C-alpha cells in the first residue's frame, strides 16, 4: 500500500491541534470570558469563533489522513494546497492582528508562528514528494 507519510503526519498533528485547541479554550479562554463583564453576545461570539478553528483543524486532519492513502495525486495536491493557503491566511490574520492591536504581544505568537510554518512546510513536502512514497507491506 502506498502512503504519503508527510500527509499522515500532518493529519495526526492536525487532529492533535484540534484537541489541544478545544482543551485550551475550555481551560484558559472561556473561564476568562465568564469572569469578565462581557455580554452574552460577546461570550457567544468568542465561543463559536474558537470552535470554528477547532472543527476546521479536525476536518483538515481527517482530510489529510484520507489523502495520505489516496491514489489520485492531482486531486490530493490541489486539496493540500487549498488547506495550506487557508492555514497561512489564518496565520497572516493572527500575526497582523497582533501587530496592529498589541505590538508587545508579538512574543505570544512566536510559538504558534513556528508551528504553523513547520506544519505548512510538511504539507508542501507532502505535495512535492508525492512520487517518492514509502511502501508498506
Residue 115 pLDDT > 50, yes or no? yes
Residue pLDDT, tens place only, 12-40: 999 999 999 999 999 999 999 999 989 99
Domain of 111, in residue numbers = 2-135
- Residue 58's alpha-carbon distances to 64, 104, 112, in angstroms, are 10, 31, 17
Report how many domains make up the chain: 1
pLDDT of residue 136: 52
CA distance 22 to 18: 6
Q: Is the pLDDT of residue 132 over 50?
A: no
Size (the chain), residues:
137
Mean pLDDT along residues 61-87: 92
Confidence of residue 137 (pLDDT cuts 50, 70, 90): very low
Output the pLDDT for position 129.
Answer: 72
> Quick one: pLDDT at residue 20?
96
Q: Which three cell numbers stand for residue 80?
A: 493540500
| DSSP one-letter code for 108 | G
Amino acid at each position: 500500500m502506498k502512503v504519503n507519510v508527510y500527509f499522515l503526519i500532518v493529519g495526526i498533528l492536525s487532529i492533535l491541534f484540534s484537541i489541544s485547541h478545544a482543551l485550551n479554550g475550555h481551560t484558559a479562554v472561556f473561564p476568562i470570558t465568564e469572569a469578565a463583564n462581557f455580554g452574552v453576545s460577546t461570550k457567544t461570539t468568542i465561543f463559536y469563533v474558537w470552535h470554528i478553528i477547532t472543527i476546521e483543524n479536525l476536518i483538515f486532519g481527517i482530510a489529510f489522513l484520507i489523502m495520505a492513502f489516496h491514489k489520485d495525486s492531482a486531486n490530493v495536491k490541489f486539496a493540500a494546497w487549498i488547506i495550506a493557503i487557508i492555514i497561512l491566511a489564518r496565520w497572516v490574520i493572527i500575526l497582523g492582528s497582533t501587530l496592529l492591536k498589541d505590538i508587545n504581544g508579538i512574543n505570544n505568537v512566536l510559538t504558534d508562528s513556528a508551528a504553523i510554518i513547520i506544519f505548512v512546510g510538511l504539507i508542501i513536502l507532502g505535495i512535492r514528494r508525492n512520487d517518492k512514497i514509502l511502501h508498506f507491506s
